[in-house]
Amino acid sequence: MFESQAERTLLRGTLRNVRGLHPFEMPAYALMPDHIHLLLRVPGTTDISKIIHSLKRNFTLSCKRAHGLATSVNLWQRGFWDHVIRDETDYYRHMDYVHYNPVKHRYVSGPEDYADTSLHEYLRRGWFEIGWGHVEPGSLKGVELE
| Tens-digit pLDDT profile for residues 59-70 | 999 999 988 988
pLDDT > 90: percent of the chain: 70
Query: Do 64 and 6 reside in the same domain of the chain?
Result: yes
Each residue's pLDDT tens digit, 87-122: 999 999 999 999 999 999 999 999 999 999 999 999
- Position 141 scores a pLDDT of 78
Same domain, 34 and 95: no
Indicate whether 50 pLDDT > 70. Answer: yes
CATH number at residue 109: 3.30.70.1290
Report how far residue 109's alpha carbon sits from residue 73's, in angstroms, rounded to the nearest whole number.
34
Contacts of 39 (CB under 8 A, 6+ apart): 26, 27, 28, 29, 94, 95, 98
Task: Report pTM.
Answer: 0.88
Are residues 63 and 89 located together in one domain of the fold? no
| Average pLDDT of every residue of the chain | 91
Cβ-Cβ contacts under 8 Å for 111 (sequence gap 6 or more) = 99, 100, 102, 103, 117, 119, 132, 133
Close Cβ partners of 89 (under 8 Å, ≥ 6 residues apart): 139
Check residue 26 and give its pLDDT.
96
Same domain for 134 and 62: no
Which band of pLDDT confidence, cut at 50, 70 and 90, is reported for residue 138?
confident
Indicate whether 142 pLDDT > 80. no
Domain end position, chosen among 82, 113, 129: 82
- Which residues touch 24 (CB under 8 Å, ≥6 apart)? 40, 41, 42, 43, 46, 51
pLDDT beyond 80 at 1: no
CB neighbours of residue 39 within 10 Å: 19
Helix locations, 1-146, DSSP H: 5-21, 48-67, 88-104, 119-125
| 49 and 17 fall within a common domain | yes
Q: Which residues have C-beta within 8 Å of that of residue 75, sequence separation ≥ 6?
A: 1, 56, 59, 60, 63
pLDDT at 146: 57
Q: Which domain holds residue 75?
A: 1-82
